[in-house]
């Protein structure tokens, strides 16, 4: 009988270790911290799927509720440790811009006649998760507002499953146009020559798309002067780029999860997921995709050899394509900014693009940087060899990573010098 507790304890320990442990590249620092974080997220995903199967709620809503609760718990811990309150000089207001919910961060007022920077931020989360009130985004935007004397507008766009493309994009565009209006800029004492749009992951997708649209809109007297894109997702034609294959099992964004996010966002049939996970299937060879469009996502031309490595492009054999279902928005540049023509890119604001080596979206960002540069746009690429998707937001205790703090500092320094 005395042996039973030992056996049970050992069995539970082995089971927990099996659930937590995942192989990671040697370049990733603090691996066990990342494994524990991933285990928690994976458990949340499993719980959401179970609640969906039982008919309690949609799995994405359940995951969102769980992550929001976790963020609330972490914020409570941070407040108890720090004594509460961060960046006390920053004024925070939850209001609406043209019917879209936003959170506005205002730094302490400067001297009379002193104009400040302005920045619109779009959070990530696969167009389904995340919030402007989330602890990490809130902390980063408070820090940016305080350090760079910047009025930050963080957009609470609507998300899946309540809405699909193009609704989140249109929310962000409406908020951007409102923000850039001379009246609003004057109200917040913002210099119209120093206004940025920024975002991470899915937010980086919409930041790039909004920047393109604003740059083409002749009715806008004020346009964004810079765009800052943090590991942006920029195309849905090719899920077989070197980074998608190299990092398909690297957290926090696995290849299947990114494809699922795309299908959800575009309102597509989710049964396409199993087809697209096969390495011999892609939207790239759909009959509606012209050679010109394919060239805009041709990683064999747009990537440096060090990122192409030994990967080969997927070549579809005649008749092997099979029945490809139409996906609304697949070729819409508002969903896939990498598909924009060179004449559009040439009008885009100068750019900062942060990429991580251990991220399925690495090549999206690198290809976009190359195409912007080819169009004559000044681009700064900040690449982190030890970076992984999501690290930029993992900068607040107790879930903080050194690479995340370095990435955030690089982003802030670039804005300090370029906005």
Q: Which residue among the candidates 123, 178, 307, 389 is catalytic per the annotation?
A: 389
114 catalytically annotated: no
Q: With 0-12 CB in 10 A as exposed, 13-18 as middle and 19+ as buried, what is 266?
A: buried
298 catalytically annotated: no
Contacts of 321 (CB under 8 A, 6+ apart): 285, 286
* Contact criterion met (CB below 8 Å) for 368 and 337: yes
Nearest CA to 371 out of 232, 220, 166 is that of: 232
Q: Which residue among the candidates 200, 359, 363, 364 is catalytic per the annotation?
A: 359
Residue 94, beta-bridge partner list: 103
Which phi and psi (to 5°) does residue 191 adopt? Answer: -70, 115
User: Which element (helix H / strand E) includes 159?
Assistant: none
User: Which element (helix H / strand E) includes 117?
Assistant: strand 116-122
> Coil, strand or helix: which one is 364?
helix
- For the chain, helix, strand, coil in percent to 5 are 45, 15, 40
Is residue 104 left, alpha or beta, with left meaning phi > 0 and alpha meaning psi from -120 to 50?
A: beta
- Distance between CA atoms of 29 and 26, rounded to whole angstroms? 8
Structure tokens at 397: 């205790």
Contacts of 300 (CB under 8 A, 6+ apart): 308, 313
Q: With 0-12 CB in 10 A as exposed, 13-18 as middle and 19+ as buried, what is 71?
A: buried
- Distance between CA atoms of 100 and 157, rounded to whole angstroms? 7
57 catalytically annotated: no
- Distance between CA atoms of 66 and 62, rounded to whole angstroms? 6
Q: Which residue among the candidates 131, 201, 243, 348 is catalytic per the annotation?
A: 201
Length of the chain: 419
Structure tokens at 399: 């879930």
Crossing angle of helices 59-82 and 31-53, in 10° steps, is 140
Q: How many CB atoms lie within 10 A of CB 156?
A: 19
Crossing angle of helices 167-179 and 202-216, in 10° steps, is 60
- Distance between CA atoms of 119 and 152, rounded to whole angstroms? 5
Q: Which residues are catalytically annotated?
A: 201, 359, 389
């Amino acid at each position: 009988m005395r042996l039973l507790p030992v056996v049970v304890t050992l069995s539970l320990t082995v089971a927990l270790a099996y659930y937590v442990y995942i192989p990671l590249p040697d370049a990733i620092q603090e691996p066990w911290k990342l494994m524990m974080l991933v285990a928690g997220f994976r458990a949340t995903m499993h719980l959401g799927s179970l609640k969906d199967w039982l008919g309690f709620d949609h799995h994405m809503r359940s995951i969102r509720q769980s992550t929001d609760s976790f963020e609330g718990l972490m914020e409570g811990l941070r407040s108890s440790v720090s004594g509460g309150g961060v960046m006390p000089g920053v004024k925070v207001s939850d209001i609406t811009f043209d019917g879209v919910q936003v959170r506005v961060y205002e730094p302490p007022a400067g001297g009379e006649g002193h104009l400040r920077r302005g920045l619109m931020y779009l959070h990530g989360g696969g167009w389904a998760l995340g919030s402007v009130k989330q602890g990490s985004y809130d902390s980063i935007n408070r820090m940016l507002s305080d350090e760079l004397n910047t009025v930050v507008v963080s957009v609470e766009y609507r998300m899946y499953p309540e809405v699909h493309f193009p609704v989140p994009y249109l929310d962000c565009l409406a908020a951007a146009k409102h923000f850039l209006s001379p009246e609003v800029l004057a109200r917040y004492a913002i210099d119209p020559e120093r206004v940025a749009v920024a975002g991470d992951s899915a937010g980086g997708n919409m930041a790039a798309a909004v920047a393109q649209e604003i740059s083409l809109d002749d009715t806008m007297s004020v346009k964004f002067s810079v765009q800052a894109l943090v590991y942006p997702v920029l195309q849905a034609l090719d899920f077989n780029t070197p980074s998608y294959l190299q990092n398909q099992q690297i957290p926090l964004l696995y290849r299947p999860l990114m494809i699922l996010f795309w299908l959800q966002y575009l309102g597509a049939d989710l049964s396409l997921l199993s087809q697209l996970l096969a390495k011999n299937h892609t939207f790239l060879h759909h009959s509606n995709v012209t050679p010109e469009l394919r060239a805009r996502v041709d990683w064999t031309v747009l990537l440096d050899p060090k990122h192409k490595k030994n990967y080969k492009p997927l070549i579809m054999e005649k008749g092997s394509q099979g029945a490809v279902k139409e996906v609304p928005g697949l070729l819409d540049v508002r969903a896939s900014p990498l598909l924009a023509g060179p004449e559009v890119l040439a009008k885009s604001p100068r750019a900062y693009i942060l990429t991580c080596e251990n991220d399925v979206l690495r090549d999206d960002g690198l290809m976009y940087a190359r195409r912007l540069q080819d169009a004559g746009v000044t681009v700064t690429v900040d690449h982190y060899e030890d970076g992984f998707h999501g690290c930029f937001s993992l900068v607040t205790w107790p879930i903080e990573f050194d690479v995340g703090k370095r990435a955030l500092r690089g982003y802030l320094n670039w804005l300090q010098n370029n906005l």
